Each structure stands twice: as C-alpha cells, then as structure tokens.
Amino acid sequence: MADLVVHAGLQAPGSRANGARLLTLLLLVALVGASLMSLAIGASGTSLWRAFNDLVSGQSLSLRDQVVLWDIRVPRTVLGVLVGASLAMSGAVLQGLFRNPLADPGIVGVSSGAGLGAISAIVLGSFLPAVLAERLGYYLVPVAAFLGGWASTLVLYGISTRKGRTSVGTMLLAGIALGALTGALSGIMVYVADDQQLRDLTFWGMGSLAGATWTKVIAATPLIMVAMLGTPFLARALNGLSLGEASAAHIGIPVQRMKRLAILAVAAATGASVAVSGGIGFVGIVVPHLLRLMVGPDHRYLLINSGLLGAALLLIADVISRTIIAPAELPIGIVTATLGGPFFLWILLRQRGLVDM
Amino acid sequence: MIRLAALCAFLAGPALADAYPNAQRIISVGGSVTEIVYALGEQDRLVGRDTTSSYPVAARALPDVGYMRRLSPEGVLSINPDLVLAEEGAGPPETIALLQGAALPMETIPGGYDRDAVGAKIFSVAQALGVPEKGRALSQQVLAEIDAALTEVAQQTRPPRVLFVLSMQGGRIMAAGANTSAQGILNLVGAQNALSGVDGYKLVTDEAIANSQADVILMMDRNAGRHQADVLRHPAILTTPAGVNQRLIRMDGLKLLGFSVRTGTAVRELSAALTQVQG
C-alpha cells in the first residue's frame, strides 16, 4: 500500500490531478442523475414529471401521490445519498489511517456495536419501561444501534490509547477481540429471540432504505454532514501518513489529533448510517479501492470522489432493490454485494500486474 | 402532519373492527388470512398478497408484496389497494405508519394458536370484508369440524409424546417449545409436546432430544423431503422411541400451523396419523 502511494504520487502528478478533477465533475453529474432516478422510479406508477407539471400548473396532487413522492421517495433518496457517501468516505479515511486495504467501518467497532445495539433493542425492547418505549416508538432500534456503535468505538479507542498516543496496531487487534465479544452477546440475543424477532434480525442485517422517514433524515443529517464536511480536512494528513507514522510526525502532521478526529468522524457518520439503514456492506470497502485504481491514492481527491461515487452507487442499488421484484423489495445489501462483488473482481483481474497491493 | 396523525393512529393500536363492504381492491397479508378470504368466497376482491400466502394455489397468481414483516410502502401502494387485511405482526411499523398516512385503511386480524383463535380470525376477516353472515356460517362450520375431530381425539387412551422438528441445521435440531403454533396444534390433538422447558422455536441439544423420549417426530412437508432420512438417522433421535420405531409424520406447514380454515382437517389428519403410527 505505502509503496503504491509513493510511486503513484511521483509518476505524473499533474495528469493525475486533472483526471481526478474531471472525475469529480463526472461523479457529480452521475449523482444528480442517480438522485433523479431515485425520485422518479418506483413500484407505483407515480410519475415525477406529471407531479411536477401538476404542481406548476397549480393542480394539487392526490394524497397517494403526495405520500409516494414526499414521504417515501424523497426521504429515501436523501438517506441514500447520506448513507452511501458516509460509508464510502469512512472506508476511504480508515484505509488511509490504518494503511490497510481491508479496513472498512467495521474495523473501529462501529458496525458490530451498532449490530449489538439493534439486536438488543429488537429482542429486549419489550422489557423497557413503557414510558421510554412509547416515546421512542419504532425509533428504538435506530437509537440503540447508534448508541451501540458509539459505545463500541469509544471503548476501542480507550483501549488503544496510552499516554495520549493511539496505537493503530492495538486498535486492529483489540477490534477483533471486541468484535468477537459483541458477536457473542449478539449470539445470546439471537438465542433468546422468538421466531418473529429472528426474522427481524435477519432482515436488519441485510440492510434497507425502505424504512426511510423524515424523522430519520432529520436525525441522521447533522451527524453525517458534520463528519463528511470535516473529512476533507484530513486529506493532507492522510497523504502524509502513508509514509508511516514517524515520517508523518517529522513533516509536521499532528498525527494523534488527526487519528482522534478521523475515528470520531467515522463513528458518527457510520453509526448514524447503520442506525437508519441497517447493515449495508461492501460500499465502504470497495468504492475507495475502485477510485484508487482509477485516479490514484491522493486523499485530496479520493475522499470527495468516494463520497460522490458511494452515494450514486447506493442510490442505483436502491432503485434496483425496490423495482426488481416489485411490489416486493429485495434488501439492498443483497443488491450491493451481488452487483459489486463480480464487478470489483473484474476490475481487479483487469488491473492485475499494474497494481500490486 | 399526516405522518404525526399516522403515528398516533398506529400507537393507538387496532381499533374496533371496521367493515369495508365496498372495498374491491384488497391486499391480504398473512397465509391464514388469505385462506379465510378464499374460504369466504371473496377472493375476487383480492389484488395482492404477501409471500406467506401460498394457499390456495390460485392465490399464488396474485402480485406478491413481500414478506409480511418487511412490507415495502411503495410496493403496497403501487397495486392501488383500498384495504389491507393483515395478520397480527405485519410490518415494519414505519411502513404501516406511511400507509396510514396515505389514508389506506388497514385492518389487523388477531392471531393465536387455539380453537377460539380460529373462530375469532374468521369472524374478524368476514367483519372487515362486510360479510358477517358468511363469516358466521364459515366459523360455525370450521369450529364444528374442529370439535368433531376433537371428540375423536378424546377417545385415545395415552397421549403420545410428539417432537415437532422445524428444521435441521448442520446436524442440530430446531424444535418447537411452548408458546408456538406447533404447541397449539399438539394441544388440540391432545398430544404432549415431548420437549419441555423450552420457549419458542429453539436449537436444542442432543441431550434434550434424547431426554424428550418422543414417540413420534412431526415435521412440515417442505423441509421433510431431504431431511426425513437425516432426522430419523440422527443419533439423539435414534435413542428415542420415535427413532427406534422410525416414526415420522409430515404435514403441510400452513395447514398444520396456520390456525385458519383448514385447522379442523389438520386436527383430524394429524390425529389419524398419530393413531396409525402408534399402531
């Protein structure tokens, strides 16, 4: 990885940068296109174009069209953009931070912690005091997932930080141990779950944007936006870090502060994403790789491009998930993995020999 | 605003059963509910069903809106229904709230795993469809069938110990404990659940299986084919009378566990099969 970064940076910086900027523009266009697609295509025949015409000519929409467009498709599209972008950017940040091509948001414990939170809420939700359960309603699971993700990341960060220095190596290993522990606790929950809860758990794990509501959008937006707007500031530091921590510190990069920021940003963005959409795999690990193969490892372009591509791809996957077996819906995690897996393998095979990770 | 109202409506829970005699585009969610709609002869009003609605076979031709606990709001609306009849437990709640926001009436049909639950289900469905008379007739007929089957059952001397095997996963057995639909049907036929001290469908240890001393194994048809031989060869089951005598009964899952129109038939068939294998 580190070798690759240095070589690529030295080869032809000018053309790389131009290529990356062009790509950003293209991805932006693709994202707008995907958003329009997501607003326009769905199981029902509600047409975005007709609705637009009706509104312009002063006619009011039928209640059903209103609900389909405003309460179903719009929040779903917004959530798709946020979740896709945050998963892909988080993946890019972590792969840079850990200097490990296999890093994804799972590595800082967010996913497993969020999973445990969600599973506990599904299984034990009925034991909560009635007041709390009533207030949270069906937001109990997302809230528990978000808290679980955060708690798990903070514990992991605490374990790996000694005397103000976070050891990335310790974090990787402790993450495995913590993951096993949360996995075991989740296993206990699965064991005591009843038949219906088991099915809910299974579907939660496959992820979906189908539960998108305005409340979820409003709750998730600030967390994800702050994290996403913050990450580009990490780009130079992540570039420096590819030389190794010691070298990065020598050229004046505040390594420890950067690690803390990166980990907190990822925990906030991924925690919120997983909370509102369940477990959607693959986007976080594959999108940054795809872009690295296309325009090189410079984080100044990689982060923003990852966000754009992640958002566009997730929207397209969501459109497929809700139309392919309409009126039923395929969980989106299945779509991302079935389409993304073979495509990524193809890219790898094509590039074999050019890139050696 | 719409959503808030919907949420309130959702939290308020199922209201008193409303009647929708004019509903002509109905989505039926839940295998037992769909079965009742057909038995009432009201199937021409159906325009959609969920994945669990696999009986009668004609129902499979209707558009499938997905698994009953994972309904997609736009998918449901796309069929342009004017009523959703849903078995208890349909969801997720986000979807239910959105559908209510779209002013789509939704009637929840109560669940339950005993004789009276069957009557209540049939009555609720008929009430919602606006055909209470047909409902009364059907529920009388079905309950009479169940009662007739029950009197036959009552003549048996020793209640057989039955182990309901839901599935086998890598040599481990998932079996039915208390508070399950399987326990419900065993209660009806006067059989004893061989597995005690377990709640719900659980993976159970070989020792618990051996301890169960089951006389008969009961399975659903769809799992039985390939697994039948495996189950009867399972080392723990071989230690039970059921294993020693190779006694296994297979029945259609929805018929056996649906607690709907065919429950009377299920009781009679299961009871007859139990008598037969016990010789």
Residue A65 lies in a domain: yes
| Interface contact A138-B94, CB threshold 8 A | yes
The confidence score (pLDDT) of residue A8 equals 42
Tokens of A287: 């999108």
Q: Which residues of A touch B182 (CB under 8 A)?
A: none
Q: Write down the CATH number for the domain with range B161-278.
A: 3.40.50.1980
Q: Looking at the partner chain, which of A43, A194, A214 has a beta carbon nearest the beta carbon of B75?
A: A43
Q: Looking at the partner chain, which of A68, A211, A329 has a beta carbon nearest the beta carbon of B77?
A: A68
CA A101/CA A95 separation, integer angstroms: 6
Helix (H, G, I), strand (E, B) or coil at B80: coil
Domain span at A127: 2-351
How many A/B residue pairs have CB atoms within 8 Å?
109
- Calculate how close chain A gets to B134, using CA atoms only, in Å: 31
Tokens of B256: 């056996």
Q: Length of chain B in residues, anyone?
A: 279
The answer to whether domain B2-145 and domain B161-278 are alike in fold is yes
The confidence score (pLDDT) of residue A152 equals 92
DSSP letter for A231, please. G
Sorted by where each begins, the domain ranges of chain B are 2-145, 161-278
- Calculate how close chain A gets to B78, using CA atoms only, in Å: 4
Quick one: chain A helix, strand, coil %, rounded to 5? Answer: 80, 0, 20
Q: Which of A342, A281, A331 is nearest to A310 (CA)?
A: A281
Q: Is A214 on the interface with B (CB under 8 A)?
A: yes
Q: Length of chain A in residues, anyone?
A: 357
Residue A225 lies in a domain: yes
Scan for tokens 């409003």, then name that residue.
A218
Strands (E), chain A: 161-162, 165-166
CA B185/CA B191 separation, integer angstroms: 9
Cβ contact A339:A286 at 8 Å: no
Q: Looking at the partner chain, which of B72, B97, B180 has a beta carbon nearest the beta carbon of A210?
A: B72
The confidence score (pLDDT) of residue B14 equals 42
Q: Which of B102, B104, B49, B54 is nearest to B71 (CA)?
A: B49
Angle of helix A195-206 relative to helix A110-124, nearest 10 degrees, comes to 150
- Calculate how close chain B gets to A44, using CA atoms only, in Å: 4
CA B122/CA A182 separation, integer angstroms: 44
Q: Which of B76, B105, B4, B106 is nearest to A68 (CA)?
A: B76
- Calculate how close chain B gets to A180, using CA atoms only, in Å: 21
CATH number for the domain that contains residue A152: 1.10.3470.10
Per-residue tens of pLDDT for chain A, all 357 residues: 444 444 444 445 567 778 888 999 999 999 999 999 999 998 887 788 888 888 888 778 888 888 889 999 999 999 999 999 999 999 999 999 888 877 877 778 888 899 899 989 888 887 877 777 777 777 888 899 999 999 999 999 999 998 888 888 888 889 889 989 998 998 898 888 877 788 888 888 888 888 888 988 998 999 999 988 888 889 999 999 888 888 998 998 898 998 999 998 999 999 899 889 988 878 888 899 889 888 888 999 999 999 999 999 999 999 999 999 888 889 898 898 888 888 888 877 877 655 544
Tokens of B181: 């639909």
Residue A128 Cα to chain centre, angstroms: 30
Amino acid identity of A324?
I
Q: Is A103 exposed, middle or buried (0-12, 13-18, 19+ CB in 10 A)?
A: buried
| Interface contact B75-A63, CB threshold 8 A | no
Q: A195 to chain B: nearest residue by CA?
A: B201
Q: Which residues of A touch B175 (CB under 8 A)?
A: none
The confidence score (pLDDT) of residue A14 equals 65
The confidence score (pLDDT) of residue A317 equals 94
Cβ contact B126:B17 at 8 Å: no
Q: Which residues contact B7 (CB under 8 A, 6 or more apart)?
A: A137, B97
| Interface contact A326-B78, CB threshold 8 A | yes
Strand partners of residue B168? B173
| Interface contact A322-B79, CB threshold 8 A | no
What DSSP letter does each residue of B99-124 carry, written as one string? Answer: HHHTT--EEEEP--SSHHHHHHHHHH
- Calculate how close chain A gets to B143, using CA atoms only, in Å: 27
CA B9/CA B7 separation, integer angstroms: 5
The confidence score (pLDDT) of residue A136 equals 77
Scan for tokens 């909370």, then name that residue.
A275
Residue A357 lies in a domain: no
Greatest CA span in chain A, whole angstroms? 66
List phi, psi (to 5°) of A229: -70, -25
Q: Which of B111, B51, B259, B24 is nearest to A330 (CA)?
A: B51
Query: Cis link prior to A327 (omega < 30° from 0)?
Result: yes
Tokens of A345: 């393998």
- Tell which CATH classification among 3.40.190.100, 3.40.50.2000, 3.40.50.1980, 2.40.40.20 matches the domain B2-145: 3.40.50.1980
Judge if ipTM > 0.85: no
| Interface contact B69-A211, CB threshold 8 A | no
The confidence score (pLDDT) of residue B7 equals 47
CA A327/CA B66 separation, integer angstroms: 7
Instruction: Provide block-wise average pLDDT over 10 residues at a time, chain B (279 residues).
Output: 47 59 95 96 96 92 92 91 93 89 92 92 95 94 90 75 88 89 92 90 89 93 66 91 92 92 92 82
Q: Is A328 on the interface with B (CB under 8 A)?
A: yes
How many domains is chain A partitioned into structurally?
A: 1
Strands (E), A86-227: 161-162, 165-166
The confidence score (pLDDT) of residue B229 equals 73
Cβ contact B39:B265 at 8 Å: no
Pairing relation of β-strands B83-87 and B26-29?
A: parallel
Q: Which residues of A touch B3 (CB under 8 A)?
A: 71, 213-215
Q: Which residues of A touch B48 (CB under 8 A)?
A: 327
Q: Which of A316, A310, A308, A311 is nearest to A24 (CA)?
A: A308
Q: Which of A292, A178, A303, A160 is nearest to A235 (CA)?
A: A303
**Alpha helix stretches (DSSP H) within chain B:** 2-11, 31-39, 73-78, 93-101, 115-129, 132-154, 181-188, 206-212, 221-233, 235-238, 241-244, 253-257, 263-278
Q: Which of B2, B80, B106, B81 is nearest to A44 (CA)?
A: B80
What pLDDT digit, counting tens, does each position of B84-107 carry?
A: 999 998 988 889 989 988 999 999
CA A86/CA A223 separation, integer angstroms: 10
Q: Which of B275, B267, B273, B113 is nearest to B179 (CA)?
A: B113
CA B79/CA A44 separation, integer angstroms: 7
